[in-house]
Structure 1
Amino acid sequence: MSDEESPEYYTLLCDDPSHEVVLIDCGPREMDVIRAVRKVTGLSLWHSRVLARQVPVTLLEGLSAYRAQSTVAVLQSAGARAEWRQEPEPGDMAPSP
């Protein structure tokens, strides 16, 4: 194969930043939220309860935007207040005074 006939290869870079899911409040249906935390994290019921009672707490990190939104939807359907946030890039941290 000559240079003119060689195939071209492209490297695709994913610019989708990672996201985190933060549980802000359990609301009045604490047990439903604990079960939802267990469902999205895969933790035991006991560990899920401990996490849910430490609000505000980051439940998951390193997620795609779609997965973070889906996780928040599961938590909200259980009665929780939760949000997804874009994780700061390592170089974006403000220096300490």
Structure 2
Amino acid sequence: MLLTEAGDRKVEVVRAIRTVTGLSLWNSKLLLDSAPVAVTEPNWLEVADEAARALEDAGARATVLCDWCDRTLPRPRCTARQGRARDGCAEDKAVRG
């Protein structure tokens, strides 16, 4: 999984990096400052997707890459389509009309 952009809420993103990777506060901040960077090693798609979602919820931009061909894998951006609706989701409102 690739962290592509830090976003505006850096403190929350550092906390998310610590949660996903188990790194120390210092190393998490260094990882964030070196974006774009790989955050996790090649892993199962579900694990990488959950990690990317945690970082995106914290305000960062993350991309899931195929570890075999380095292709960006499509991910649903909105959890509303998966039965876990969030209030105020712009994509969900756009789908409903």
Q: Secondary structure at the match of 1:86?
A: coil
Q: Which residue of 1 aligns with 2:14?
A: 34
Query: Which of 1 and 2 has higher RCO (CA within 8 Å, sep 6+)?
Result: 1
Q: CA RMSD in A?
A: 0.9
Equivalent-residue separation in structure 2 for 1:34 and 1:22 (angstroms): 15
Structure 1 residue 45 and structure 2 residue 25: aligned?
Answer: yes
Structure 1 residue 57 and structure 2 residue 57: aligned?
Answer: no
1:88 positional shift: 2.5
Q: Which residue of 2 aligns with 1:85?
A: 65
Structure 1 residue 68 and structure 2 residue 48: aligned?
Answer: yes
Q: 1:36 is matched by which residue type in structure 2?
A: A
Long gaps (5+) in structure 1: 1-20, 90-97
Equivalent-residue separation in structure 2 for 1:24 and 1:37 (angstroms): 13
Normalised by the length of structure 1, the TM-score is: 0.69
Q: Which residue of 2 aligns with 1:6?
A: none
Q: Percent identity?
A: 38
Normalised by the length of structure 2, the TM-score is: 0.69
Long gaps (5+) in structure 2: 70-97
Q: Secondary structure at the match of 2:65?
A: strand
Number of corresponding residues: 69
Structure 1 residue 25 and structure 2 residue 5: aligned?
Answer: yes
Equivalent-residue separation in structure 2 for 1:36 and 1:67 (angstroms): 14
Equivalent-residue separation in structure 1 for 2:5 and 2:11 (angstroms): 12
Q: 1:31 is matched by which residue type in structure 2?
A: V
Higher-helix-fraction structure: 2
